[in-house]
Amino acid sequence: MGQTKRKIDKLIVHCSATPEGRNNTIDDIQRWHKAQGWREVGYHYVIHLDGSIHKGRDEAVVGAHVRSHNKYSIGICYIGGMNASNTAPKDTRTPEQKKALRQLLLELKGRYPDATIHGHCEFANKACPSFDAATEYAELVLPEPPKETKPKSFWERLIEWLKGGKKEVTV
């Protein structure tokens, strides 16, 4: 059964809303999501505290991570997002998670260059991902590929010279 390629226009960053330092895993999230009646984890990627990136849903499959925006987005979740006492949102990303998240977003931008980066909070009344993802990753824009330029012919150079654009014409 072949899957059709979706046009991805958003990369949406989430947190698991778990206390700082709690070493939850993608398997834990899978259990939580199945308990809510979903067939599998709703995110496409989950980043553990050690910075390891774990694949959730296949990118070709619509996620279940942000209401009304799943069809054209990829969901990425890092473990954490709450203070140690689990009473307030907090950016708890470890240095390894920060590095892995940046790398994953760069890879995804390579596959989906027109996709914009967002935090879940932009689409729901939640603190998730507990930091401003859109601002933090605003510079993750791939450079334009170099334009292919072919050398100008003698006649093109002569025309430029005649129009005053060149001082000399070489043969």
**Catalytic site residue from 14, 33, 44, 90:** 14
Is residue 126 part of the annotated active site? The answer reads yes
**Catalytic site residue from 44, 120, 121, 137:** 120
Q: What's the CA gap between 104 and 122, in Å, rounded?
A: 20
127 within 8 A of 19, measured Cβ to Cβ: no
**Catalytic site residue from 15, 77, 121, 128:** 128
Alpha helices (H) along 7-151: 26-35, 95-111, 133-136
Is residue 43 part of the annotated active site? The answer reads yes
**Catalytic site residue from 54, 98, 126, 166:** 126
Is residue 120 part of the annotated active site? The answer reads yes
**Catalytic site residue from 10, 15, 33, 43:** 43
Q: What's the CA gap between 15 and 131, in Å, rounded?
A: 10
Active site residues: 14, 43, 120, 126, 128
